[in-house]
């Protein structure tokens, strides 16, 4: 199983909205992301759904600047 396939599986969450947002970024930007961005994306996947939803869907900001940049990119990639 490839790295992206494993990550796609990890993007499956308890909330459909998170599935859509995370998978969109994975498909569109992960391959061209910097190592730091990839690491922050992996850190986001480790979060509990309510905390992750607060960041990605609720407008909450991260205290970690690099993570906040990735969150902003993920939000932007999910915009219609």
Whether residue 60 contacts residue 26, with contact meaning beta carbons closer than 8 Å, is answered with no
pLDDT at 12: 94
45: exposed, middle or buried (Cβ count in 10 Å: 0-12, 13-18, 19+): middle
pTM given for the model: 0.90
End-to-end CA distance of the chain: 30
The full set of domains in the chain, from first to last, is 3-78 (1.10.150.250)
Cα–Cα distance measured from residue 48 to residue 10, given in angstroms and rounded to the nearest whole number:
12
Q: What is the arithmetic mean of pLDDT over 42-50?
A: 96
pLDDT at 1: 76
- What pLDDT, in 10s, does the model give residues 55-78? 999 989 999 999 999 999 999 887
pLDDT at 29: 93
């Amino acid at each position: 199983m490839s790295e992206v396939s494993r990550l796609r599986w990890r993007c499956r969450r308890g909330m459909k909205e998170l599935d859509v947002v995370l998978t969109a970024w994975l498909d569109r930007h992960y391959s061209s992301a910097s190592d730091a961005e990839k690491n922050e994306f992996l850190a986001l996947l480790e979060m509990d759904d309510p905390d992750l939803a607060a960041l990605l869907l609720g407008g909450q900001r991260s205290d970690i600047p690099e993570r906040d940049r990735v969150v902003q990119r993920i939000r932007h990639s999910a915009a219609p």
